[in-house]
Structure 1
Amino acid sequence: MRSFSDSYRDAGVNIEAGYEGVKLMSAHVKRTMIPGVVSDIGGFGGLFAPDFAGMKEPVLVSGTDGVGTKIRIAQLMDKHDTVGIDCVAMCVNDIICCGAKPLFFLDYIAIGKNEPEKVATLVSGVAEGCVQSGCALIGGETAEHPGMMAADDYDLAGFSVGIVDKAKVIDHNTMVPGDVIIALPSSGIHSNGFSLVRKVFDVEHADLSVYSDELGRTLGEALLEPTRIYVKPVLRCLEAANVKGISHITGGGFFENIPRCLPEGLTAKIDKGAIRTLPIFSMLQSKGNIPEHDMFNTYNMGVGMTVIVAKEDADRAITALDCGAYVIGEIVSGDERVTLC
């Protein structure tokens, strides 16, 4: 007997739509399969058998996050195939900061009305993020929330688990004055500060499809640009150089995120003139009349991640990163944590 419930459907939940969504997303999930995946989607839990070969003390590292109110831009543009990349990026970019390689990812979609095609499109973005970061999508959950969310509304979150040998966890205590700070370019605003973005650009009433000469594309395209995933470049860098610190520049910008890898008594001295700021940030600052400090305390300003290495390792690290990385500052003695000069 097939599974259905007319009573539940009358209450606003269509379980058959959920089954159809799983069927439609299966092809996307298959793209992410890597060695270690034991189970297929549809079970009560995702199974993964990690390879501990060559590790003396394997340590699991986990990270969880969501896309935030950037999702509203996707809803206004009716474009749902990229926010899944953001969801994965916000998790895997965090766990790579301690040197861990992501193994698998699970997502959670809460939606007002379960439209199988839309859910499958959302998952296609999640799968693409997993492919970019080399991890497997081994499960997830879609929850229909009638009466709590509008029919077209949804939210997307998830978490990732990675692994690192304890001896290879990045040791921040090796950092000394004279070490250099390398910037890994961002693709745009990524997934932070969108409450302010939406206010400044009045996105509920703006025409996001209008082409901007300053941006070289429409405002909507610039705002919806997916978060860049740094896993593979950083893994290459970890093999090539002695990395002393990594920071994912997310919410809180430079002032909150860079100090998270700095030992006491050291300051990150950033050369503002060296930063390759993207046009979207200049437009946002100008239109919103936002103070410079607030911009650097909210947004990545074109720097999605920083890597700290010894000065003599800088060229080797930049070559290994192979993503347009460049030096933006150095570590100095002091208690200010971050200075922009």
Structure 2
Amino acid sequence: MSCNCPNSRWNVCNSNGANGLQVESEHRHQANETRYPDGTVKLRNPNIELMDQDILYHLALGSESHDLVSMFGDVKFVCMGGTPKRMEQFAYYIMEEIGHKLPAGTMLQDISQYSYRYSMYKVGPVLSISHGMGIPSVGILLHEVIKLMYHAKVRDPIFFRIGTCGGIGLEGGTVVITEDAVDGMMQPFLELSVLGKLVKRPAKLDKKLARELRALSEPDDPYETVTGKTMCTYDFYEGQGRLDGAFCDFTESDKMQYLNRIHKAGVVNIEMESLSFAALTHHAGIKSAVICVTLMDRLKGDQVLAPKEVLDEWQQRPCSLVSRYIKRYLSMKGHLSLDGHCGSMCVKSPRRFKLVQQESENYD
């Protein structure tokens, strides 16, 4: 029997026998490490509590310079995507979808504009953040966003990665919901060198959340929505078996054998962030999902050839699916209260605020 528990490390039901008891014990242990009794995020790092101020360097925020509880305490959904422009567009899109109104005479603000690295917009209970490209970039962002959830006392957040990918046996424009994330060697964990030792963190996504997203696809959608394994690579060219990079030490036959082999193993798309996203959110005990749209079928070619207007429409498709989930959640729970949360820039200490700005501006 499949387990519906969001943080299960085994694909068994936690109500059955010895395995179920082991799973239940694992869940309790992780919950104790990643949640306080009221559901707020707890960090697996005791050092943070001892710091006078925790500067979220790449977000241009600080735990004492900014009133993070007032700014972000009502957040429920954290939506991440590659580029600042795409996530700005998503912020305006979700604002219209959930009916969020800005005060008269105001506009959406890039809260992390002084970092010159990532962009972040807040629309009611939704954060829209650019994560850059690749495992290192999304990993750095996740560390600081998870800490932001802790400092803001956010309860049980849900994280989404909204992105693009190359399909394996899927036409361009297909929406893919990741069931499992694997690396280029088909390993389902993130490898990280820590103090000269190799640490392996399971790249687990929430199976129940993936099923709920899949169920929100509609019969009249002009595209297919599928689930499957996502391969996450450290490179766009050689790491994904492309023939059109600056270097190529393999043949087209080698490439096709590899792509067909991983396709038979269940891989339906390739991108560069899901492994880190899945591993870090799982380690933090945060429910998460990856939803991407394919830009081409890699079994037919390497380059993105679709016109820009077509690509723009395709990239809206994962946003639409995530929007359906958020709207359904809000309608079921009732709109989350925004009272007491300023949602823009709430400065707690002007002196420390200036120091954080100076720290983040020293990006050279």
Scaled by the length of structure 1, what TM-score is found? 0.25
Scaled by the length of structure 2, what TM-score is found? 0.24
